[in-house]
């Protein structure tokens, strides 16, 4: 190779080297077939532009083949609708499970923030504390840096709220004395459990404070549950993602096997691996697209199927709650993930398989 002269690009003797340079097939071939007609004059006069048009024609050819293969693989898919639909359905099912779990968690997170907002401390004052003292204590509480806001509830207000929530006017009216202390409801700056515990401790040290109620255990539990769920969803997502890879990989492996002869022939006449791989990559991507769309459909169907009982259940608790649905972003993410997985599965299968195919 080294021995050939630099000018040898004008002769066929340079073919292998030249062939790998970024030149179009036509130029290569011409220089081979008619050695004397080749590069020097073109190169010296308009070399750069020549190269550029070569490059752009190569790019056009590349785009053309991509388009052709995308359509060809789609056509192959449509030609055997049942089998391919089953493959897509397998992909869809693998995607629906983690996606549904994720959606559920999303709604739990929504609930979680509502709970965070309702996370408060209640300070109960000594019964002996009168209103003026209560006002001073409230001022002291507000001065604490961990406190975002307060609401003082006098014994009378407390009694009224209590009665209202019980719906019994008469029983409590029979009491001689109002047994309730003044209470101060505090919205903390943060719902961080440790910060809240510290705040509670400081407040308990104030004079006239009888007790500070802080019940965060359920918030904590919910949070742990959500974290657990998130991890389960992630693990399932990874696992089922592998499942999708395997499903697509296996399907593509069969497709490669059934077109083995064709692959051998095109490799014999100079097809690159990329060229051979391309139709299969598109097939994989189409499987992914189909699977993703089916998964979206299944999620919508599931939502419709569950929405009525869920609404009835929520209503019985006096709440309004609708099942979360995938928004545009979520749908796009799901669809791109499945497409990418299909493509990747095909890539792995073809690459693994191509090494075993040698033209005879």
Partner 1 sequence: MIAFEHVSKRYGGRFDALAHLNFRVARGEMVFLTGHSGAGKSSLLRLIMRLEKPSRGRVVVAGHDIAQLHASQVPFYRRQIGVVFQDHQLLFDRSVFHNVSLPLEIQGVEPREAARRVRAALDKVGLLHREKALPVELSGGEQQRVGIARAVVNKPALLLADEPTGNLDPQLSADIMALFEDFNRIGTTVMIASHDLALIARLRHRILRLRDGRLVGDEGAV
Instruction: Name the residues that contact partner 1, by CB under 8 A.
Output: 1, 3-4, 8, 11-17, 19-20, 24-26, 28-29, 32-33, 57-58, 60-62, 64-65, 261-262, 264-273, 275, 358-360
Residue 347: CB minimum distance to partner 1, A? 17
Secondary structure (3-state) at 230: helix
Tell me the CA distances in angstroms from 175 to 29, 108, 170, 178, one per residue in order: 108, 43, 9, 7
Distance in angstroms (rounded) separating the CA atoms of residues 320 and 314: 6
Residue 290: CB minimum distance to partner 1, A? 24
Residue 295: CB minimum distance to partner 1, A? 33
Q: Which two tokens stand for residue 47?
A: 């070399």
**In this complex, which beta carbon is closest to partner 1, that of residue 11 or of residue 133?**
11
**In this complex, which beta carbon is closest to partner 1, that of residue 239 or of residue 268?**
268
Residue 349: CB minimum distance to partner 1, A? 20
**In this complex, which beta carbon is closest to partner 1, that of residue 26 or of residue 301?**
26
CB 336, CB 279: distance < 8 Å: no
Query: At 212, which helix (H) or strand (E)?
Result: strand 209-213
Residue 72: CB minimum distance to partner 1, A? 11
Distance in angstroms (rounded) separating the CA atoms of residues 28 and 38: 9
Tell me the CA distances in angstroms from 121 to 148, 187, 197, 305, 333, one per residue in order: 11, 7, 10, 41, 40
Query: How, if at all, do strands 183-188 and 121-125 pair?
Result: antiparallel
**In this complex, which beta carbon is closest to partner 1, that of residue 22 or of residue 45?**
22
**In this complex, which beta carbon is closest to partner 1, that of residue 265 or of residue 315?**
265
Residue 63: CB minimum distance to partner 1, A? 9
CB 91, CB 247: distance < 8 Å: yes
Task: Supply angle C-alpha 284, 286, 230, rounded to 5.
Answer: 80
**In this complex, which beta carbon is closest to partner 1, that of residue 16 or of residue 318?**
16
């Amino acid at each position: 190779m080294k021995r050939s002269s630099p000018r040898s690009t004008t002769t066929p003797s340079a073919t292998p080297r030249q062939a790998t340079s970024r030149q179009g097939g036509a130029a290569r071939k011409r220089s081979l077939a008619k050695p004397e007609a080749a590069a020097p004059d073109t190169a010296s006069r308009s070399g750069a532009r020549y190269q550029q048009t070569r490059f752009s024609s190569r790019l056009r050819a590349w785009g053309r083949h991509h388009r052709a293969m995308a359509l060809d693989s789609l056509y192959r898919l449509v030609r055997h609708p049942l089998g391919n639909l089953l493959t897509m359905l397998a992909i869809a099912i693998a995607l629906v499970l983690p996606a549904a779990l994720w959606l559920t968690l999303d709604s739990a997170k929504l609930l979680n923030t509502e709970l965070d907002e309702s996370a408060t401390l209640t300070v109960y004052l000594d019964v002996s504390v009168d209103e003026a003292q209560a006002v001073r204590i409230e001022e002291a509480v507000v001065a604490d840096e961990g406190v975002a806001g307060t609401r003082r509830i006098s014994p009378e207000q407390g009694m009224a709220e209590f009665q209202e929530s019980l719906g019994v006017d008469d029983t409590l009216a029979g009491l001689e004395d109002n047994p309730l202390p003044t209470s101060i409801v505090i919205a903390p700056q943060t719902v961080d459990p440790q910060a809240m515990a510290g705040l509670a401790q400081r407040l308990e040290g104030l004079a006239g404070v009888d007790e500070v109620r802080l019940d965060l255990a359920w918030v904590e539990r919910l949070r742990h549950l959500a974290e657990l769920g998130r991890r389960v969803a992630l693990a399932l997502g990874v696992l089922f993602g592998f499942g999708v890879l395997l499903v697509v990989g296996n399907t593509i492996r069969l497709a490669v096997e059934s077109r083995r002869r064709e692959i051998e022939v095109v490799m014999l006449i100079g097809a690159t691996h990329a060229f051979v791989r391309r139709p299969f990559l598109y097939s994989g991507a189409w499987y992914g697209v189909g699977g993703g769309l089916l998964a979206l459909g299944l999620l919508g169907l599931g939502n419709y199927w569950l929405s009525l009982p869920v609404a009835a259940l929520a209503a019985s608790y006096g709440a309004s709650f609708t099942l979360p649905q995938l928004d545009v972003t979520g749908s796009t993410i799901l669809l791109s993930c499945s497409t990418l997985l299909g493509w990747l599965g095909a890539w792995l299968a073809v690459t693994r398989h191509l090494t075993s195919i040698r033209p005879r």
